[in-house]
Structures are given as C-alpha cells and as structure tokens.
Chains A and B, each alone.
Chain A
Amino acid sequence: MTDDVGKTGCSGCEEASEEELLARLDEVIEKYKEKPGALIPVLQMAQGIFGYLPEVALKKVAKGLGKPYSEVAGVVGFYSFFSTVPRGRNLIRVCLGTACYVRGGMQVLEALKKQLGIDVGETTEDREFSLEVARCFGACGLAPVITINDVVHHRVKPARINEVLAQYAPEAVGAGGRSE
C-alpha cells in the first residue's frame, strides 16, 4: 500500500481527461475496497490522481468502499492534508507544530502570505502556489520547517523566503517581492 500512497504528486495530471482520472481512481478502489482501513490511503491516492479531492471523486470513494458520504467528508475535513479545492502547481505547507512554532513558524507563514499575496488555504492567481499549514513533519530538530511539494526546507528564514520560492517559480517573485 505504501508504494501507491507515495504517488501523491500531480505530475502529468494536466494532460489526463477527467474520465481517465476517474478510471484511475476506479482501479485504486477496486484494489483496496476489501481491505480494512482503506479509506485514508485511498483518499491520499485520489488526491494524488486529481491534485485535490473533487466531489465526484469523493462520492466514488464512498460508494466504492461502502462508506457513508458523511464519514468520507468527515475524514477529509479532519486532516489538513486533504483539500477539496484545486491547488496550485506548487503546494507549500508551513509547519506550525510546537517546535516550529516556537522557532518562528508563524513569522515564516506571515512572510509567505505577504510574498504570495494569499491567505492560508488559498492559491495564487497564476495557480503557481497554494499555501497551507500543517502539524509536524517529524523534522523538529530542523525547525522551522516548510515543505514545498514533497521537498522539505529546513531552518527557513522569513527574510530569505524569496530565495526558496525562486527555486520553484522565479516569475512569482517579481514585482511585489522584496529581498532585504
């Protein structure tokens, strides 16, 4: 199961049609529907396929696994990892777990909000970046930590946030960006 769960990236999803994506989800459901505790892994894989969790996918998961839709929605709403709105090409998660929080996680988050011009849970207009908060990636010794897609950036300094972002979409750091 872990191998499939790992495939949460969105690479190539722009090219596939919705039918193709739903067919891929059908395969996942078919493979896991008899296994106990399949809901969370299947949701992770569904998010990997679609980039987020659209209603059509969630209803398919509920029907396919024989779970009430309310339970599927409850699990999706419980974990900040899951998103029901489309995300940008790059997903930034700022850790606000205890260690990151005391070592300036909030300042990192504020810097990102200012730099990107979006709030938590939002996506930039050019669909390059989405911003979310998370609770602990298990890298507390490297606090404060953020992840961008599947890469962990450690000891992030608010003042140098541009340099981190530049690695992903140099154009996003243009006009509004400051580099003190």
Chain B
Amino acid sequence: MPVLTVDDIKVEVPEGTSLLDACRQAGARIPTLCYLEGVQAIGACRMCLVEVEGAKTLVVSCVQPATEGMVVHTSSSRARRARRAVLELLLSEHAGDCQSCVRTADCELRSLAELLNIDEVTYQGERTSQKIDRTTPALVRDTGKCISCRRCVTVCNQVQGVGALFPQNRGFNTVIGPAFAMDLADVVCVQCGQCAAVCPVGAITENSVTEKVWEALDDPKKHVIVQTAPAIRAALGEEFGYEPGTLVTDKMVAALRRLGFDAVFDTNFTADLTIIEEGTELLTRLKKALVEDKEVALPMFTSCSPGWINYMEHYNPDMLANLSTCKSPQQMFGALAKTYYPKKLGMDPKNVVVVSVMPCTAKKFECARPEMGRDGMQDVDYVLTTRELARMVKQAGIDFRSLPEQKMDKPLGISTGAADIFAATGGVMEAALRTAYEIVTGTAFPFDNLHVTPIQGLEGVKEASVTIEETVPDWAFLKGATVNVAVAHGLANAQKVIDRIRRGEASYHFVEVMTCPGGCIGGGGQPRLTSDAVRQARIKAIYAEDEGRELRKSHENPEILALYDEYLGQPLGHLSHELLHTKYTEKDRV
C-alpha cells in the first residue's frame, strides 16, 4: 500500500486509490466539479489540480493514482492560482442569471466561486451558445448554463444505458445534448431525470409546474387533492436542513394542508392496491403457465417506474408482454381520484384537481400519456417533484421545522408498511412476496421481521428464491414450487437482467425494476445531491417507517378491502381492468 505525504501529513492508502481520495483522507478538501463519487472521475473540469513535487505540471488529482513517496501540496499558491484561473474561465463562459436561477441556493459553480473567493471574473469573452429546451414535460435544458462537466452524459450512458445525451461538436463549440442539437422530446430519453439530479448547475432541471398548482389552489371552485409518493417522506426534510434519512411524514402532511390542499392523500394507498392487483396478475400468469399450459409471458416485470416503462417501449419492445399491465401507483390513484372518490363524495370529477408529489421527473411524462385519463380529462393533473414541493412550502412562508405532526386523510390516505417500502429498491418485491405468500399458503410470511434481506441494499442486481411448502386448495398447483425473483435498479442493471433472460441463463418468475439507483428514494426529482450514503440513509428511514406500522401487508389494508367491497368487485375484475390496468406501445430505438 503506497504511503504518500499530503501537506506534510503521511497517509497510507490502498493500491489504486486516486490522489483526490488520498488527499481527502489526509483531511484536505480539494474543490471538484465534474467528479461524482462512484460514478465519474474523468478530469474534465481541472478544478482538482494539486502540486506534486517533481512533476512538471500541476496534477489532476481525480484521475491520478496515488503512488509511493509522492509529496503533494494541495494548497500551494501555484495550485490555488491555477484553480482560480480554471474557475474564472468557466465563469466567463457561463450564462449565469444567478438571481433568477432555480439552482442559485445549491449551485456547485456558485459555491465554488464563493469558496475560492472570486469577486471579479477577469476574463471576458464569448459565452456558450444558449438554447433552452422545454419540449418534454419532465425536464428543461439550458445549454447556456452548461459547464460541460459530463456528469449527465455518464449517468445517462453508463448508469441508465439510455444515451440521450452526449458531447456534440468540438472545442469551444461543444454542446452537451441530444444528437445534432435535437430537442429532448424528439430523441429517445426516458425522462428519468438522473441528469437533473447530478447537474452541478442550472443546466438541467425539472420542468416546473408550481405556478399551475398555485393557480389550482387559488381557484375556489376546484377541489384540489394531493398524493405523496412513499419516497418523499424520507427525503423532503433535507430541503429544510434535516439530516438525510430523517422521516418527516407528519410534518409533510401539515405542510400540504397549510398550502391549501383540500385533502391530503397517499400514493401508498394505491401502492397497496398495486400489490393486490399485481400479485393476483402474477399468480394468474403462473396458473396459466403451470396448470392450463397456456403461452404466457414470464418472467413478469413490475410496472411502477415510468422511466423503466419508457425504456422497455424503446429498447425491448419485444418483451412488452412481460410487463405487468398494472398502472403505476400514481396512475391508479389518479384513476380512483377521478371516479371512486368524487362518486363517494357526490362531486363532479371535473372539479377535482389531482396533484402528485413524486421523487421523479418521468412521472410528469407518465401523467400526460393519452391513455392515462377519461372523458377528456387526465387522471393526474400536475406532478411536482420533491424539490418543487419544498420550493412551494418556502414560497408560502411556512416554517416547516415548527409544523405540527398530522395524519393523512381517509380513505385514500390509509396504507400499510408494505407500501412504504415501494420507495426502496427491492421494496415492491418484498411487499408482493409478503402478500402473495400469505394468499397462496394461508400461513404467515416466514421471513425475519418480514424482510427479504437478499433483495435489500444497493447491489445492482439481487436475487432470491422462495419455496412454497404448503398451499391453500385454490393454489395447490404451486405446492413444492420454488419462485425465483430478481431485483434491479438503474436501467443498465435492468438491461443486464434482460440479457441474461434472453440468453437463457436465468429463469425468474418475477422481476422488480426501478429506473433510478437505489429506487425511488434516489429519483431524479429528489433533493440534491444523492450519494450512496444518502441513498442508504433514506432506505433506512423507509424501513423504519415500515417497521413502525401496525399493518405491514397490503392485503390487510382495511380501506383497500372496502374499495373492492364497495366499488371494484375483485382483483383483475372488470372495473379494475378499466381503471387500474394499461397497455404499452412499441417505439423506435433511435
């Protein structure tokens, strides 16, 4: 293990450690911009320059391996001057309208300018060409603010395997964007927003609808209801200074009431509903395959994550039949909120406005899909990201930290712990297993504390098998069967699972896919910046929320039982089919 000297401090680091990490280990805080822990170290921005004795030039520490005997000065005047020049050059090209930029509070470029004490940009010259692309419902791109750090390119290509963004042209004319400066709406982009989640500046942000939500809230004729995704409660607090992993469920409910929503509901309710519908769908598919000897698409893939749906439609259209036909919990909620709910209240559905708070930008695209509505109305009217909700709370002058703790409204706000864990990778699978196992066997789910630990955590692809020893008479054909499941998060990992299935190397029955690394808690609409440590903290909070519940299995949710009793009839029944299920469309790959 190499030993080196960083600012007179000796450090020993494992072979292959970058000089940047070695310096950090020695307590030196070197500024970085393009570097993204665990994702990208490419030396594009040159902010992390340090002086190494004996080297002719300054060294880019993020791409330089630490080697034996190196003597490093992280803050020599030469290094400081160089970093300052680099930053001034970046600033001289940047079309920064900091006063009105949505990123002004957490812009990494601006905070570096502060850190490096830049009070004047010496260089004057040509600025980056500016094109603002608002063509997708999910994202806005502003090339004038882009500093070409390539974080978005790396997550789009390597983590998601989508490749909507790539450096175009050359030198000063380089533009990070879709092919030939096309609009995002005209290329294959799954709208997951991971680019927006890693952008250090305001070059990629969500397409905000806060003003439209304010308009709805201000309209006395409208009955405006809100649903919050399970992942929001474990992350929203970060926008108000809480540590990552702080649960703020009850304060969030109070904040939503203060904003003026007429009812505060929970996407968790329809997450429980999803488990009933999707679990029944899986068991039905298994029965068709095993008993009726019919052609049926297996494994079945989950369908909650709209970026994943977009990905399948473009990249694996021959496997669309493998996707569960269940709408996502957001859209199941929307469908009920425009039918069941107004009927129950004796209200005209036209006056109901449904707002979602999602950790996700692809949800903005999903709610606008033409098949997600009825009678000329969309089921979900507006989708706010976690970040947008935080901005609205701040804009309304609400002191979030001093809010009282309140509970969600009935009936669409009642849920179980199985719904909470939808937010974390592996959660939908665990929730589905909790219910399917009990339906099939008639006995209690045998896992310790109800957790299927092999499918938890941040490993890219996870697997588990559950053997069914005994069954109730209806499911006798499953007696002795072993159900193989897989869980993937990040679309590149999902594609690996698909490739293995195609090659016949894996025989899964059920596969959970979440578009974003870590699942929804790491979604493209969550507070920035989501590192693996932040993901772990949010996941821990989600499991704590689950464990704190009396009811932790979807089939025990009394409001779901009432919904079937009063309205839907039975899972996969006629009304379920009409309201809760959907179909997918093959799209072009390029």
Contact = CB atoms under 8 A, between A and B. Distances in A.
A70 B165 contact: yes
Given A68-B162, A69-B187, A69-B188, A74 B168 contact: yes
Interface string A42-63: 0000000000000000010011
A71 B163 CA distance: 7
Interface in B128-173: 157, 162-170
A121 interface: no
A77 B175 CA distance: 10
Contacts of A69: 163, 178-179, 187-188, 590
A120 interface: no
B169 A77 contact: yes
B401 interface: no
A68 to B, nearest CB: 2
B170 A78 contact: yes
A74 B156 CA distance: 15
A71 B178 CA distance: 9
A70 B164 contact: yes
A54 B323 CA distance: 36
Contacts of A72: 179
A110 B34 CA distance: 40
Interface residues of A, number: 14
Contacts of B170: 77-78
Given A62-B590, A63-B589, A63-B590, A70 B169 contact: no
A40 interface: no
A163 to B, nearest CB: 34
Contact of B180 (A63, A67, A68, A73): A73
Contacts of A68: 157, 162-164, 166, 188
Given A77-B169, A77-B170, A78-B169, A70 B179 contact: yes
Contacts of A62: 590
Interface residues of B, number: 18
B166 A74 contact: yes
Interface in A71-113: 71-74, 77-78, 84
A26 to B, nearest CB: 15
Identify which of B162, B166, B178 gathers the most chain A CB atoms within 10 Å of its CB.
B166
Contacts of B187: 69-70
Contacts of B188: 68-69
Contacts of A74: 166-168, 179
Identify which of A59, A69, A70, A73 gathers the most chain B CB atoms within 10 Å of its CB.
A70
Contact of A59 (B163, B167, B590): B590
A149 B501 CA distance: 49
Contacts of B169: 77-78
Nearest to B178: A70
Contact of A71 (B166, B177, B180, B589): B166
A105 B180 CA distance: 30
A118 B23 CA distance: 55
Nearest to B171: A78
A123 B177 CA distance: 28
Nearest to A63: B590
Nearest to A79: B170
Contact of B163 (A63, A70, A77, A84): A70
Nearest to A84: B180
B160 to A, nearest CB: 11
A83 to B, nearest CB: 13
A85 to B, nearest CB: 12
Interface string B65-105: 00000000000000000000000000000000000000000
Nearest to A58: B179
Nearest to B189: A70
Contacts of A84: 180
A67 B170 CA distance: 20
A68 B167 CA distance: 12
A31 B168 CA distance: 27
A73 B168 contact: yes
Contacts of B178: 69-70, 73
Contacts of B165: 70
A73 B590 contact: no
B255 to A, nearest CB: 39
Nearest to B167: A74
A78 B170 CA distance: 5
B415 to A, nearest CB: 39
Contacts of B168: 70, 73-74, 77
Contacts of A77: 168-170, 180
Contacts of B590: 59, 62-63, 69
27 contacts: A59-B590, A62-B590, A63-B589, A63-B590, A67-B163, A68-B162, A68-B166, A69-B178, A69-B179, A69-B188, A70-B163, A70-B168, A70-B177, A71-B157, A71-B166, A72-B179, A73-B168, A73-B178, A73-B179, A73-B180, A74-B166, A74-B167, A74-B168, A74-B179, A77-B168, A78-B167, A78-B169
Interface of A: 59, 62-63, 67-74, 77-78, 84
Given A71-B166, A73-B179, 12 more contacts: A68-B164, A69-B179, A69-B590, A70-B168, A70-B178, A73-B168, A74-B166, A74-B168, A77-B168, A77-B170, A78-B170, A84-B180
